[in-house]
Amino acid sequence: MQNNMIIGLLDTGIYMGAPSFSDQGYGPAPAKWKGKCRAAFNFTGCNNKVIGAKFFNLDDMDDGEEMSPIDEDGHGTHTSSTAAGVPVSNASFYGIANGTARGGVPSARIAMYKVCWGIGCSDMDILAGFDEAIADGVDMISISIGGPSKSYFDDPIAIGSFHAMRAGILTACSAGNEGPNLFTVQNVAPWILTVGASSIDRQFKVAVSLGNGARSSGVSINTFSSGNRMLPLTSGTLAANSSNTRYGNASVCDYGTLSPAMVKGKVVYCVESMDQENTIKKLGGIGIITSTDLQSDLADTTLILGTTVSSKDGMNIDRYISSSRKPEVSISKTRDVRVLAPFVASFSASGPQSISPNIFKPDILAPGLGILAGYSKIPSVTGDPTDTRHSIFKILSGTSMACPHAVATAAYVKSMHMDWSPAAVRSALMTTATPVKVENRLDELSIGSGQINPVRASDPGLVYDIGMKSYISLLCYEGHNDTMIGLLIGGKTKFSCSSLKSAHGVDGINYPSLHIQLKNTSKVSGVFFRTVTNVGSSKSVYTATVMPPQGLNVEVIPRKLTFDRPGQKQSFKVIVKGAIKNSRKKSEVVTGSIAWSDSKHVVRSPILIYVGR
């Protein structure tokens, strides 16, 4: 069944030279496929694995790039192979993360819609990509593109995904990488599956050894190594040029503040520095150590020998440099270390959101930290023109990497339930997700329903279904005017909210999670109305188990749901009342859950109350 699933991706294109896209063993494209491969002189064409590739440049965003589906960035190749790449043994990035690289649904077909170019992704191209993907007959759409959240009627991803939903196609989108700051979540339309990033059970570590025997551990994707040699070490502070005309801060290695003679042939320590590798390389430096007081789970590929250490280790390195007559250091190549997982990635965007404030986004977490997948050999591995390294695999992090993991899971579920709506598939992923522990309460705003669980999602027991009319009723409920909603729907008939049954409850929609967003009050009072559809056993009885948020009372009416047949629907309501303690001076989050269970299934919905100050 899965080899008939077609995943459409709107991205930067695709590099057919990546082994992840081999079509060995594949037959022709499914009969439902109506798309094609758009010819271009530097594009090798499609095959029975990548069955479609098109490009769109309606807004002249190409910045001098070739008019072709070919991926000159690498992003689209990475997301495509993450979603559906075939297994490739002995895959690695210069020996790092060696193993078998495999997409989430390796038997599925891929269709690429190139809507992003060197200077961005235009609204016109995104909408055109949606139109083509829908017309071509894809089963799922994956979009690892984002930007500041805006009105659904001004957002090309919200508009395009609405029309995809109407055609029975689920759209999964990345939640954004501006976390852990609040109100940073992107792609929040209620018909989208919004995906945050979680970890896998490995991290990338670099050993740093000083001449005095002190050792520390850094985080980076460092393909270089000093081997057994000790290298000369200095700091930005000591390497400052003596010119009175310099501008910036030498301790952080700002461009123009360092003396080439003091940097040449040395490893340079830069305090709290970002993106100074190019500066050190241009000045003849052979390596860089940076420090940060931020959470160190994000490993980037270095341009030169280098790594990032904690601020505490950085201070120790700085003291050693200042106190030693001949400071030296050795830096190892990156090695992967096993760690407990999952946890939410430090950069993964956080709710709540302001467009539909009582709908909890992101929906779900999926692996997005340190993901090895296919890559384009056209750009260098860092994108720097002086970097001579090119690779058909690369390690990347971001919610861009999480999104194709989630869409692959959705395709897997859909392949077993072809008659399910996009909302039913999303519900299956959300209600079967594994809860993720967090250290900070506000981090609850980043995890959605938890970590995807593909096996459980294929048999969720119950689903919270939502049809197009319910989404439109929500838009009316939220106060959007008839004209704007009519433009979103399209068609010649004039639309009026009065023609629909009014939504009700706190959020006005049958969403799999429950969320109340408050401002400057600790008192909570709300009612949610929900309907679940039986997709499990013919005869089953589900009982509700409630874990109320701290200080609140949660009542479920009724507490028991009886089903006699598949497809049967049962409704219930959830009453949440009480007061949140300790919320007078700062923002606060309290969480709980409702879980419906029979002898086989557990259908869990998180409850999250946010009080803003």
Active-site residues: which are they? 11, 75, 400
Helix 399-416 / helix 75-84 crossing angle, nearest 10 deg: 30
Q: Which structure tokens are listed for 508?
A: 């006005």
Q: Phi, psi at residue 154, to the nearest 5°?
A: -110, 0
Under DSSP, is residue 560 helix (H, G, I), strand (E, B) or coil?
strand
Nearest-angstrom CA–CA distance, 163 and 159: 7
Nearest-angstrom CA–CA distance, 475 and 518: 20
Contact 473, 508 (CB under 8 A): yes
Closest C-alpha among 224, 173, 512, 513 to residue 349? 173
Nearest-angstrom CA–CA distance, 85 and 374: 8
Our CA angle for 200, 201, 203, nearest 5°, is 90
Q: Which structure tokens are listed for 315?
A: 């201070």
C-alpha dist (Å) from residue 92 to 95, 112, 260, 366, 388: 5, 24, 35, 21, 18
Q: Is 438 exposed, middle or buried (0-12, 13-18, 19+ CB in 10 A)?
A: middle
Residue 429 per-residue DSSP state = H
Q: Which residue has the tokens 């910045």?
A: 63
DSSP string of 484-526?
A: HHHHHH-SSSPP-GGGSPPP-TTTSS--SSEEEEEES--EEEE
DSSP collapsed to 3 states, 98-154: EEEECCCCCCCEEEEEECEECCEECHHHHHHHHHHHHHHCCCEEEECCCCCCCCHHH
Nearest-angstrom CA–CA distance, 260 and 367: 42
Under DSSP, is residue 558 helix (H, G, I), strand (E, B) or coil?
coil
